[in-house]
């Protein structure tokens, strides 16, 4: 058993579908724990001032993490590390990873200290609508959470190594333990320390995230770690690639800060409602969009390093079609059952029906851009794999400007829902622009397969709505929906009716993605294939590697 576990933990995963399944399964576990986390927070504190302070306290630590880590890992580290592996070997790649780890660590120590020191000066600007007690609590929570970017940043570098080596287990499980830490903090510490206990849970979760990733390094030892240095050749190349990505993330963080500032001026609880709705709509985005983007990125980077344009196009087209097949019906479900989803996920304790309706309104508007939000991580990584970070940067600039302008215009008439409207419209525009620029580079990625696949998925989704909507309406007349079991029955019945209609229709029109997912499941569940066999054939990716 121990030998099998070690083999799975350190084993290499070949094939886009298999890799996406591993990441997606762990993402599902993490997202489910995220729902328990939000339910625990909402039930304990309600959508009020305490929870507003908690979510606002994430802003500065998250900004540090995004600027120092996400740009370096997604745009710079993985492509360069993959190139080192392909052309210079494991020893050179390990040396590069060690250099990046120490350099990132040194930067994050300084940045985290700055967050703790300057929080009292910065937060009054970021949360202008908070009263004095809520502002003081936000400052206290921010200082506690300031250690989390350091732990998560070091973990992210190790995760980049594991992704490049196609070893996804530790990388995929780390967010699960992060959410466990927050849940434990809320359950164990909140009764004695209030919302401060939840902040301690964030630090515990970040530490668990790091320890899980670090345990996977035994399969790829880094050796003696060098001193931090920005002059090492590999580090310089990573800095060159991450510049535009970091600038784009900087603009994104300004955008999030602006949305937070607007939310604080609407009404108490607006920050909580916006964040809770955003977390719910990120469930399918993270489970599907980000999972496939993460799985496809090393494949795209390797295809580019090998000058395999055909393999690059096939990998990108296959990942996009699978995302579309899963997200279009998810969008319909989130719009049809938005109030039911919010009530079941968050309705507990101090989170009342008024909070439910406000959150459901925002969730409905977020849902309109689920497909765009799910494709953006893949399309952006498609450019990063080409060592092109400027195109996603300028597209993100357009998106963020749109978000800010629309949010300012829509806040007054629509409140928190107006912020979600602005967010969704800008995401759709950003996705369309990325797709158009990629089409200019490569032409049609799938020779018409993407259009046919989307058309068939849309037909199946119409069938889903036609079956689920009457069931939802009928059960709404039978029950008053005041009890949790009644809402659950309405939701499950609608999902079952819609799901049967979707899959039956997809089977009738011979959806290629349904066939591919079925083949992949059969190879793993019934034929007991090894991790490395079958996935490429099932996903149409046999010539990618």
* 340-369: pLDDT as tens digits: 999 888 877 678 888 889 999 999 999 999
Note the pLDDT of residue 181.
87
The predicted model scores a pTM of 0.75
With cut-offs at 50, 70 and 90, classify the pLDDT of residue 12: low
* Alpha carbons 301 and 307: distance in angstroms, whole number: 10
Average pLDDT over residues 416-440: 93
Note the pLDDT of residue 70.
67
Q: Say which residues have a Cβ less than 8 Å from residue 191's Cβ, sequence separation at least 6.
A: 197
Average pLDDT over residues 234-253: 75
* Alpha carbons 369 and 429: distance in angstroms, whole number: 10
pLDDT, greater one: 240 or 269: 269
* Alpha carbons 28 and 172: distance in angstroms, whole number: 10
Our measurement of the distance from residue 269's CA atom to the centroid of its chain's CA atoms, rounded to an integer in Å, reads: 24
3-state helix, strand, coil in the chain (%, to 5): 85, 0, 15
CB 46 within 8 A of CB 133: no
Average pLDDT over residues 243-260: 78
Q: Which of 35-44, 215-224, 435-444 has the lowest mean pLDDT?
A: 215-224
Collapsing DSSP states into helix, strand and coil, what is residue 528? coil
Q: Which of 89-98, 467-476, 477-486 has the largest mean confidence?
A: 467-476
* φ and ψ of 288, to 5 deg: -105, -60
With cut-offs at 50, 70 and 90, classify the pLDDT of residue 511: confident
Average pLDDT over residues 170-178: 80
* Alpha carbons 224 and 98: distance in angstroms, whole number: 8
Note the pLDDT of residue 460.
94
Our measurement of the distance from residue 13's CA atom to the centroid of its chain's CA atoms, rounded to an integer in Å, reads: 21
CB 13 within 8 A of CB 531: yes
* Alpha carbons 283 and 357: distance in angstroms, whole number: 19
CB 524 within 8 A of CB 534: yes
With cut-offs at 50, 70 and 90, classify the pLDDT of residue 315: confident
pLDDT, greater one: 281 or 82: 281
- Mean pLDDT value across the chain: 82
Residue 4 has pLDDT above 50, yes or no: no
- The contacts found for 520-529 with CB under 8 angstroms, 24 or more apart, are 520/17, 520/18, 520/21, 524/18
Note the pLDDT of residue 134.
93
* Alpha carbons 112 and 203: distance in angstroms, whole number: 13
Nearest in space to 101 (alpha carbons), one of 201, 221, 190: 221
CB 167 within 8 A of CB 82: no
Our measurement of the distance from residue 297's CA atom to the centroid of its chain's CA atoms, rounded to an integer in Å, reads: 14
Cβ-based burial of 19 (10 A; exposed 0-12, middle 13-18, buried ≥19): buried
Q: Which of 68-77, 205-214, 358-367, 389-398 has the lowest mean pLDDT?
A: 68-77
**Residue whose token pair is 């990505």:** 245
**Residue whose token pair is 């515990």:** 204
Note the pLDDT of residue 432.
94
Q: Say which residues have a Cβ less than 8 Å from residue 353's Cβ, sequence separation at least 6.
A: 347
Average pLDDT over residues 297-301: 83
Our measurement of the distance from residue 118's CA atom to the centroid of its chain's CA atoms, rounded to an integer in Å, reads: 29
CB 86 within 8 A of CB 302: yes
* Alpha carbons 280 and 361: distance in angstroms, whole number: 12
Note the pLDDT of residue 22.
64
Q: Say which residues have a Cβ less than 8 Å from residue 196's Cβ, sequence separation at least 6.
A: 140, 141, 144, 189
Handedness of CA 49, 54, 57, 62 (dihedral sign): negative
With cut-offs at 50, 70 and 90, classify the pLDDT of residue 410: very high
With cut-offs at 50, 70 and 90, classify the pLDDT of residue 17: low
Q: Which of 5-14, 173-182, 214-223, 311-320 has the lowest mean pLDDT?
A: 5-14
Residue 532 has pLDDT above 60, yes or no: no
Cβ-based burial of 50 (10 A; exposed 0-12, middle 13-18, buried ≥19): buried
Note the pLDDT of residue 457.
92
Q: Which of 19-23, 200-204, 323-327, 384-388 has the lowest mean pLDDT?
A: 19-23
CB atoms within 10 A of CB 204: 21
With cut-offs at 50, 70 and 90, classify the pLDDT of residue 229: confident
CB 437 within 8 A of CB 448: no
Note the pLDDT of residue 534.
29
Note the pLDDT of residue 405.
92
Tell me: the pLDDT tens digits for 454-466? Answer: 889 999 999 999 9
Nearest in space to 204 (alpha carbons), one of 253, 130, 251, 148: 148
Average pLDDT over residues 28-39: 82
With cut-offs at 50, 70 and 90, classify the pLDDT of residue 522: low
Give the angle 135-138-139 at the CA atoms, nearest 5°.
90
* Alpha carbons 135 and 271: distance in angstroms, whole number: 13
* Alpha carbons 298 and 165: distance in angstroms, whole number: 9
Note the pLDDT of residue 448.
64
Note the pLDDT of residue 537.
28
Tell me: the pLDDT tens digits for 72-125? Answer: 565 677 778 878 877 777 788 888 888 888 888 888 899 999 999 999 999 999
Residue 16 has pLDDT above 70, yes or no: no
Collapsing DSSP states into helix, strand and coil, what is residue 532? coil
Q: Where are the alpha helices (DSSP H) in 216-232?
A: none
Handedness of CA 383, 387, 391, 395 (dihedral sign): positive
Return the C-alpha torsion angle 356, 368, 321, 175, nearest 10.
-40
Residue 27 has pLDDT above 80, yes or no: no
CB atoms within 10 A of CB 353: 11
Note the pLDDT of residue 143.
95
Q: Which of 132-141, 267-276, 332-341, 492-501 has the lowest mean pLDDT?
A: 267-276
CB 267 within 8 A of CB 47: no
Q: Which of 169-178, 237-246, 501-510 has the largest mean confidence?
A: 501-510
């Amino acid at each position: 058993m121990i030998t099998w576990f070690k083999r799975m933990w350190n084993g290499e995963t070949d094939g886009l579908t298999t890799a996406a399944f591993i990441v997606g399964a762990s993402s599902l576990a993490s997202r489910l724990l995220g729902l328990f986390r939000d339910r625990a927070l909402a039930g304990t504190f309600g959508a009020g001032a305490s929870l507003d302070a908690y979510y606002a306290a994430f802003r500065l630590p998250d900004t540090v993490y995004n600027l120092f880590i996400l740009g370096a890992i997604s745009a710079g580290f993985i492509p360069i590390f993959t190139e080192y592996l392909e052309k210079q070997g494991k020893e050179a790649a390990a040396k590069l990873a060690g250099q990046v780890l120490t350099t990132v660590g040194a930067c994050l120590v300084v940045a985290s200290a700055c967050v703790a020191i300057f929080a009292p000066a910065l937060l009054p600007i970021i949360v202008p609508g908070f009263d004095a007690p809520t502002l003081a609590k936000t400052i206290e929570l921010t200082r506690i959470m300031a250690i989390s970017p350091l732990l998560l940043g070091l973990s992210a570098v190790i995760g980049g190594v594991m992704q490049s080596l196609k070893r996804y287990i530790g990388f995929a499980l780390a967010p699960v333990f992060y959410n466990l830490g927050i849940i434990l903090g809320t359950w164990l510490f909140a009764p004695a320390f209030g919302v401060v206990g939840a902040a301690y849970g964030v630090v515990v979760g970040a530490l668990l995230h790091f320890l899980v990733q670090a345990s996977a390094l035994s399969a790829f030892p880094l050796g003696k770690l060098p001193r931090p240095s920005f002059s090492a050749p590999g580090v310089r190349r990573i800095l060159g690639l991450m510049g535009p990505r970091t600038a784009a993330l900087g603009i994104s963080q300004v955008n999030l800060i602006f949305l937070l500032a607007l939310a604080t001026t609407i009404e108490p609880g607006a920050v909580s409602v916006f964040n809770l709705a955003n977390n719910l709509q990120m469930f399918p985005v993270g489970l599907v969009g980000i999972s496939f983007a993460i799985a496809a990125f090393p494949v795209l980077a390797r295809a580019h390093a090998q000058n395999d344009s055909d393999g690059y196009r096939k990998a990108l087209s296959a990942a996009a079609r699978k995302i579309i097949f899963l997200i279009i019906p998810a969008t319909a479900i989130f719009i049809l059952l938005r109030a039911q989803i919010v009530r079941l996920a968050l309705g507990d304790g101090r989170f009342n029906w008024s909070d439910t309706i406000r959150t459901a309104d925002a969730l409905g508007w977020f849902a309109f851009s689920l497909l765009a939000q799910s494709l953006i991580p893949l399309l952006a990584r498609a450019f990063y794999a080409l060592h092109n970070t400027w195109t996603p940067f300028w597209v993100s600039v357009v998106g963020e400007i749109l978000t800010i302008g629309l949010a300012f215009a829509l806040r007054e008439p629509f409140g928190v829902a107006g912020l979600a409207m602005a967010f969704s419209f800008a995401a759709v525009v950003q996705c369309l622009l990325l797709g158009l620029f990629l089409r200019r580079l490569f032409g049609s990625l799938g020779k018409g397969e993407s259009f046919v696949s989307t058309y068939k998925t849309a037909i199946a989704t119409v069938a889903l709505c036609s079956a689920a909507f009457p069931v939802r309406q009928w059960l709404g007349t039978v029950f008053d929906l005041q009890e949790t079991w009644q809402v659950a029955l309405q939701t499950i019945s609608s999902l079952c009716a819609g799901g049967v209609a979707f899959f039956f229709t997809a089977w009738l029109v011979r959806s290629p993605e349904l066939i591919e997912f079925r083949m992949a499941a059969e190879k793993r569940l019934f034929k007991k294939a090894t991790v490395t066999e079958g996935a490429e054939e099932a996903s149409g990716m046999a010539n990618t590697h």
